[in-house]
With several copies, the nearest count.
Chain A
Amino acid sequence: MSLSYYKQTVIRVQTDDFNLAAEYKKLRDNNPKDGAIVTFVGLVRDFNQSGEVSGLFLEHYPAMTEKSLAEIVDQARSRWSIGRVTVIHRVGQLNVSEQIVFVGVSSQHRQEAFHANEFIMDFLKTQAPFWKKENSKKGDTWVQAKVTDQYKAKNW
């Protein structure tokens, strides 16, 4: 097993759904050095800034998106000793309870995988070029960025 495989980063931006089990398998298979795998999945909630939400549309800046996510993962790798990292973000139209984002991190010991995963999400939330428009009875409304997300990213 080569070092590059061990330290593999996978970034995907797609309209299709993803499968947690398949992503977990890629983080785990042939990886006997890592004792910890942390996964995060973000889902479309039925209630948000515009009240009751029936779905949302995710716009992004295609030329920049993957580059931005790869840089965030590199920043995480410079802070923690982690193994494999996968980041998948969906774009386009999504319904309530659908999966939006997946972050998976493996590491030898648990703390690194926990912290790197949360760090990647906090930076994704404030730096990666995605914008959500919520669908509700009132019509479509752009989601406004939360100041608390800025604080979370700054606290690392």
Chain B
Amino acid sequence: MLKILFFGQLKDMLKTSALELDWQQDNQTLDTVSKLRQYLQTKEQGWQEYLQVGKVLVAVNQELVQDEQVISDSDEIAFFPPVTGG
């Protein structure tokens, strides 16, 4: 299972903070951030826009990564808006 997390405004927009997902989905393996993102974008109304490349940052196992990042089953993948701490 992939563990997916959402934070900040994105969490509010998607109306969920966490979900679990099989690494294998029907006819494909969600083995990159890009594939996972595209899969999620089709999941619910509005997610297409909210999860656009460039609008959100992605961390895999708590490390910021790019869209091409490879992911494995049991990874923790977090999507969030640009950070605003400090």
Contact = CB atoms under 8 A, between A and B. Distances in A.
Contact flag (A, B; Cβ within 8 A): yes
A72 to B, nearest CB: 11
Nearest to B82: A145
Nearest to A142: B9
Nearest to B5: A61
Interface residues of A, number: 28
A101 B86 contact: yes
Given A59-B8, A64-B78, A132 B84 contact: yes
B83 A101 contact: no
B86 A61 contact: no
A141 to B, nearest CB: 9
Given A61-B80, A124-B86, A125-B86, A131 B7 contact: yes
Nearest to A62: B62
Contacts of B12: 142
Contacts of A145: 81-84
Contacts, number: 76
B: interface residue count bin: 10 to 19
Contacts of A101: 85-86
Given A130-B83, A130-B85, A131-B80, 10 more contacts: A60-B85, A100-B85, A100-B86, A124-B86, A128-B86, A129-B85, A131-B81, A131-B83, A132-B84, A142-B84
30 contacts: A59-B7, A60-B7, A61-B7, A61-B62, A61-B80, A63-B76, A64-B59, A67-B62, A89-B85, A89-B86, A101-B85, A124-B85, A127-B64, A128-B86, A129-B59, A129-B78, A129-B83, A130-B83, A130-B86, A131-B9, A131-B81, A131-B83, A131-B85, A132-B84, A142-B9, A142-B81, A143-B84, A144-B84, A145-B84, A150-B82
Interface of B: 5, 7-9, 12, 59, 62-64, 76, 78, 80-86
